[in-house]
Amino acid sequence: VVSVDIRVKKILGDILLVKLEKEKFLFDDQWYCRCISVTTPSGDCFEFPCYRWIANEKEVVLRDGKGQLPLDDKISLLKNHRHKELESRQQLFRSD
C-alpha cells in the first residue's frame, strides 16, 4: 500500500473531479487504486473511490463518492462526466 501526500497552499474550492494519470514505466506495469482522499487546509475531506486497475498511459477521472442521481447533477462538468462514463461502460459491454 502506497500513500502519497501532496500539499497545496492555495484554497482549491469545491473539488468536483480528480484526474489520475499513469505513465508507462515498465512493460505491463499496472497500479491498483482503491481510493483518492483529499483533505483541505480547513480539514474537509473529499473521497474519490476508484477500485480499478490503471494500465500504461491511461488516465482515470473520478467524481466524489457522494452517490448522486443523474437528476441531481446541476453542474455541466459533472453531467458531461457522467455521460462520458456511461458511454465508456456501454462500449465496454457492447458485443459486436
Domain residue ranges of the chain, discontinuous segments joined by + = 1-65, 68-96
17: confidence class by pLDDT, cuts 50, 70, 90 = very high
Is the predicted pLDDT of residue 57 greater than 80, yes or no? no
pLDDT for position 95: 63
SS3 for 83? helix
Give all strands (DSSP E) within the chain, no chain letters.
Answer: 17-22, 31-39, 45-54, 58-63
C-alpha to C-alpha distance for 48 and 95, rounded to whole angstroms? 30
Report pTM: 0.74
32: confidence class by pLDDT, cuts 50, 70, 90 = confident
Contact 53/31 with Cβ under 8 angstroms? Answer: yes
96: confidence class by pLDDT, cuts 50, 70, 90 = low
pLDDT for position 62: 92
Average pLDDT, the chain: 83
Topology (CATH level 3) of domain 1-65: Lipoxygenase-1 (2.60.60)
